[in-house]
Amino acid sequence: MSSQANGSSKRHPVLTKSSINPAVLEVEYAVRGELALKADKYTHELADGKKDLPFDKVVTANIGNPQQKGLDQVPITYWRQVISLLEYPNLMEEHLEIAKQIYPSDVIARAKSLHEEIGSVGAYTVSKGILGIRKRVAKFIEERDGYPADPENIYLTAGASAGVSQILGIALQKGDGCMIPIPQYPLYTATLAYVSAKPLPYYLSEADNWSLNHDTLVQTIEKAKKDNTPVKALVIINPGNPTGACLPEDAMKQVVQLCYDHGIVLMADEVYQYNIFDPENKPFISFKKVLRSMPKEVAETVELISFHSISKGVSGECGRRGGYFECTNLSDEVMEQVYKMASVSLCPPVTGQVGVDLLVSPPKPGEPSYDLWKTETTTTLSHLKERSQFMGERFNSLPGMSCQPADGAMYLFPRIEMPQKAIAEAKKQGKAADVMYALDLLDATGICAVAGSGFGQEPDTYHLRVTALCPGVENYVAKIEKFHKDFMSKWQ
């Protein structure tokens, strides 16, 4: 009998930091890291009645989560009505007269139609997602871009993040390079670390409103080749996160041509396409539309995967986990592998799939729900624009802070001219200076905002990413102003 069996020695754990997948140790995700954990701790302390904190609530400005408690973006009525009937279809069957007293007729009709397609929302669907919904996504893409879309090349996903992770995991081998914008959403660096691929950063130009510089892309490719790193993919976030910048069509064409010339797969993260503040002068244009408008040898060969989500826009249904990606010009043999990997997860959340359907085919003019839907969505977008402009103006008035205006999305990325004494102190603490700034801001005000170093930034620059979602923005910004002035005074 072994010593462990007779209890004479203690069993050691099989899973330790040194024995788990080493790629996991390389993964970092700033928006839910140390800062978010500390904010959560403060939230629980306040809920337990703690009175000696210098604030009475935690403001979660670290993540684009519109319906989160404290931000409280009101859900779109039409969405919740349709989904509630799918959750309890007896209202459409045995209790229809009651339903008619509660719901508009077009809501009942839409829910009935979806129920006929889906059945119970508690059942699995096909791995690609419900065909009827994918067909309506294809119609949405065609109407948006003016070019056809094939529902068989569209996959519904558990939010855009799941789709991005799935595609990166399929496309990249160990050691492959993937070009990512700096600053970028940390999903990309985290996923690349997990699949043991190499991030190849290209810097956006802050002085030019976070514009994309073609020469910078070329330099990134040349450097990778010198380092013997295969350049497999290029990620574009448009509109940008965290910058809010919206790409012009000429720049997009240059990107597509670059991918053609160098044999690179293009990944277009377009989840903020509805969040556009000046559509007349700076409209959203999809990469699918740009690709299809180019000469045939480019339009029919550059591999493009485009991502969209129900979490952003004006829907803000982050917790429902719904999104899709569309594959363009991928080979049949690769599409077989995409399907196989989607099958491993069985299917995306069904009410998330319903959310995608409501995103791409909202109420039409003349239908009973249209006017309320239009009012709710227009109001949400206008409030977001107003908050973004207000915050940008106030940040630009602060000493030692500057902020490029956002064309869209739901964030601002102000730059902090960090005092040398603060940089030295942060170094003593083993932190980046903007991480120290963000943690001190949380301690002083209860405002949780993410350091720019979590998104990537040019060397020797410091930033803060804040959402433009927070209600009571005047009071919220005033707290940041006071903290910033105190911080700068302390460390000058």
- Residue 92 to residue 96: CA distance in whole angstroms: 5
Residue 242: per-residue pLDDT: 87
DSSP letter at 151? G
- Domain range list for the chain: 22-73+374-491, 124-360
- Residue 58 to residue 47: CA distance in whole angstroms: 11
CATH topology (fold) of 22-73+374-491: Aspartate Aminotransferase, domain 1 (3.90.1150)
- Residue 409 to residue 245: CA distance in whole angstroms: 8
Residue 4: per-residue pLDDT: 53
CB 462 within 8 A of CB 59: no
DSSP states of 81-116 as a string? HHHHHHHSTHHHHTTHHHHHHHS-HHHHHHHHHHHH
Pairing mode, if any, of strands 401-402 and 415-416? antiparallel
DSSP states of 247-263 as a string? --HHHHHHHHHHHHHHT
DSSP letter at 205? B
Intrachain domains 22-73+374-491 and 124-360 with the same fold = no
Tell me the two tokens of residue 428.
Answer: 């003593």
State the CATH class of domain 124-360: alpha beta
Full-model pTM = 0.90
Give the CA-trace dihedral at 350, 351, 352, 358, to 10 degrees. 120
Mean pLDDT for back-to-back runs of 10 residues, the chain (492 residues): 58 75 70 79 90 88 79 89 95 89 95 95 93 97 96 95 92 94 87 91 91 93 95 94 90 96 96 91 94 96 96 88 96 92 91 96 96 95 92 95 92 94 94 94 93 89 90 88 95 90
Residues in a beta bridge with 59: 447
Tell me the two tokens of residue 371.
Answer: 């006017």
Give the CA-trace dihedral at 152, 156, 160, 162, to 10 degrees. -100
